[in-house]
Chains A and B, each alone.
Chain A
Amino acid sequence: MATATLDLPVELDAEGFLVNPNDWTPEIAEKLAADEGIELTDRHWQVINFVREDFAKTGEPPTLRRITKQSGVSTKELYQLFPKGPAKKVARIAGLGKPKGCI
């Protein structure tokens, strides 16, 4: 992640995630997506909106399995929308923390 070049009015952690999820705006999402090399379409927004609503309910970034089961976007498509590690990329662009490493 080329976070050093990002010019955002909000604080990011060492891995480029928003420190405070309340700082998030759609404009910030566009910039974070661009940083990941992604241009946001309606399908991207469907996922991002689901993830943000779910986070508001549970307080945790949803797992990939939860996203695909409830957002109406298949795992295969999720990988096309957010290539290489969709769970992490979606969480970052949606302004949430890094998903908990399950152990």
Chain B
Amino acid sequence: MKRILILGAGTAGTIVANKLAHELDLNEWKITVVDQSEIHYYQPGFLFIPFGIYSKNDVMRPRRDYLPRQVEVIISEIELIEPDKNRVRIKKDNRTLPYDFLIITTGSRIVPEETPGLKEHEWRKTIYDFYTPDGATALARQLRRWQGGRLVLNIVEMPIKCPVAPLEFMFLADWFFHEQGIRDRVDLTFVTPLPGAFTKPRASALLGDILEEKNINVETEFNVMEVDPDAKKIISYDEREIEYDLLVTIPTNMGDPVIERSGMGDELNFVPTEKRTLKAKDYDNVFVLGDATNLPSSKAGSVAHFQGEVFIDNFLRYIDGLPLRETFDGHANCYIESGFGKGFLIDFNYDVEPLPGKYPLPGIGPFSLLQESRLNHWGKVLFRWMYWNILLKGKPMPITAEMTMAGKWL
């Protein structure tokens, strides 16, 4: 019996577990999944919690319900990965799990402790995050009773999970305060370390225009050094200051601490990974998918999904002694909520930035690319159903893993 060990059953780990259980002969392979909690969160839903569109319960499901019955599921913290000994130590019963192949899908998380002043006495009083279910829920409570003032959203440093979410937050905040009848009493400011609203030129220009149309201030190239929670201001390394009444922060994102403990990560605990094969750079029987990689692709569920497709084909070749194909192209596909029941869709990869056009999707589309439409908003709404029922289960989606140029305007 050969053993495959999957660390982390979030979007990437769950997809991989389902695909492997479907493709491999389970008389020859034993698949084990380790995760530290029983709950699977629909992370794209966190964005909607602060505005009362979803509640915490809307984004939670039992993790085991989405994992195949044929795989062993262990709920435990992971103590240490020992890649030189092909084994992993876990907390539960002090067990050691040996493996033939290891798949690291431990994701990324926010680390507000990296910025002085952030996670201190004003945390969740005047400073909030929305990248955790508790943070998003606390912010929902705050926004419901907030009477207006200066709301500042600050991205501490790149890369972050879902780089469009902070922009969507601003668009939805503009809509939310209109609905509350207090938009005229709210000053919205978007603060980013990037030179523009987004990482890619054409999308950045377009999204920057929308921020302006919606009367949202933008402060660029702002690298926050510290937060002064008493004076309520954020201070950059080049000594600029921005005052706020309510700070919504996207703290530093880092890989799981177990990666650091195991000496397998870069400065942010992300695992060095081969860009187009998803094999760990330093180990021949370790693969890394989802947010845990150090790849210059987006940290997003769509990327985890496309990686899952590329991985399974490659892995089936690899175990038969064939060389890995360099097939992962960095493909990402993101809906961007722009408020008032509308949305955008962007589609891009390592080499092609988001372009305007039409996205061909059999049955429902075409969706407008890089242009606002009501259908794009409904695409996002429908996506939650697709996530639980199709995507996590590793079933075929009507979207190709490799990006297509069809419909894109150059």
Binding site for B on A (CB under 8 A): 63-66, 69, 75-76, 78-79, 83-85, 100-103
Contacts and interface: CB of A to CB of B under 8 A. Distances in A.
A85 B195 CA distance: 10
Nearest to B226: A76
Given A75-B237, A84-B238, A102 B267 contact: no
Contacts of B267: 63, 65-66, 69
14 contacts: A65-B157, A66-B267, A69-B267, A76-B225, A79-B223, A79-B238, A100-B296, A101-B158, A102-B159, A102-B199, A103-B159, A103-B199, A103-B200, A103-B296
Interface residues of B, number: 18
B225 A101 contact: no
B268 A65 contact: yes
Nearest to B268: A65
A90 B243 CA distance: 30
Contacts of A100: 296
Nearest to A100: B296
B266 A102 contact: no
7 closest A-B pairs by CB: A102-B159, A79-B237, A103-B199, A102-B158, A65-B267, A101-B199, A66-B267
B149 interface: no
Given A65-B267, A103-B159, A103-B163, A85 B296 contact: no
Interface in B138-161: 157-159
Contacts of A69: 267
A103 B238 contact: no
Nearest to A65: B267
Nearest to A69: B267
Nearest to A79: B237
Contacts of B297: 103
